[in-house]
Amino acid sequence: MTLNQAGLQVLEAFERGLDPRHPEHSQIPAHVLGYGEISTVFAIQAEGLEDLAFKRLPLFYSVGEVEQYQAAYEEYNRLLQEEIGLRLPAHSCIDFLNESDRPILYIVQKQLASASIGHQALHLLSREMVRILIRRALQEMRLVWDFNQRQDRLQVALDGQISNWSIDGFEPGNPHVTLDTGLTYLDTSTPLFRVEGVEQLDPELFLRSAPSFLAWILRLFFLEDVVNRYYDFHRVAVDLVANFYKEQRPELVPGIIIEVNDFFAGEAAALGVEPLTEEEVRSYYREDALIWRLYLAMRRIDRTIRTRILRKEYPYILPGRIKR
């Protein structure tokens, strides 16, 4: 999937007129579809860009870094789709220099119906169908760890939280999920995979959006653990379940844990994944929520220092208050 020349010009104009502090007030209208820790996803309301989702990554210091990232991104998508068998949306990468000569990369994906995304759909589905959705997500994720077990030199990681899955053919007026329902995996912008034990994505990119006064602490105490968690099926499942607290559906957690443990003891028994406990999930969520709440507060302080005191560019878009 590629943009024509006119679409590329509109995207470059969007970047030039983007207000990172108030993206909704940018010169070209855009709607924020979602915030990540280091990226933001937009629907850009301009001719030629309809039905597309744009994930903006202002992480890079040089064109060489962009090229290295794109190579890892394309290979990660190939592994997930062709070698492992996950379904992915049509996608492409577009990069250019902004007015400050900073490389900006946009990942372009076909935009899927918002109601079909897991964290939206779970508010429409019955309790039983939410459990079916979780099992389907686990079945898709199992393909990754089955692949890893067969490999000597390759290991692939995955962020399996519910907001990274789209339900194929989902109808909000008739919300329904079965064990035959197809899922599409959305979050391929963090291409975590190892070749001969070597990470193919530079982990330092995770620290680019961090305040400079925190970067050394994050590198020393958190970076390796954050990366490693996505290679561990148990920890990925804990993160998946813990997100139901964030999505304001804590009453679903006990039943989902039963579903996850039944899956690990049955269909995925050959992987030898340890079962989850409710206390483990609750503790993980509390710690994770606290860390990210403090981290976001520090990023806001960093933005103020850079823009109002140092009069420098702050290229990252921070979310508003996140309900947890």
pLDDT in tens, 31-57: 888 877 667 888 888 888 888 999 999
Q: What are phi and psi of 250, to 5 degrees?
A: -65, -25
Q: Which domains does the chain have, with CATH numbers?
A: 5-110 (3.30.200)
Q: What is the pLDDT of residue 207?
A: 83
pLDDT at 22 over 90: no
Share of the chain above pLDDT 70, in %: 97
Q: What is the pLDDT of residue 323?
A: 59
pLDDT at 193 over 60: yes
Spatial distance between the Cα atoms of 242 and 246, rounded to a whole number of angstroms: 7
Which of 39-53, 248-262, 277-291 shows the lowest mean pLDDT across its residues? Answer: 39-53
pLDDT at 80 over 90: yes
Judged by DSSP in three states, 59 sits in coil
Residues 100-107, mean pLDDT to the nearest whole number? 91
Q: Note whether 33 and 166 are within 8 A (CB).
A: no
Residue 324's pLDDT band, with cuts at 50, 70 and 90, is: low
pLDDT at 254 over 90: yes
Residue 237's pLDDT band, with cuts at 50, 70 and 90, is: very high
pLDDT at 227 over 60: yes
Mean of pLDDT over the chain: 90
pTM of the model as a whole = 0.91
| Neighbour count for residue 49 (Cβ, 10 Å) | 23
Residue 321's pLDDT band, with cuts at 50, 70 and 90, is: low
Name the helix (H) or strand (E) containing 256: helix 253-265
Q: What is the pLDDT of residue 215?
A: 78
3-state secondary structure 213-241: HHHHHHHHHCHHHHHHHCCCHHHHHHHHH
Q: What is the pLDDT of residue 37?
A: 64
Q: What is the pLDDT of residue 71?
A: 96
Judged by DSSP in three states, 246 sits in helix
Q: What is the pLDDT of residue 21?
A: 82
Tokens of 275: 């079962």
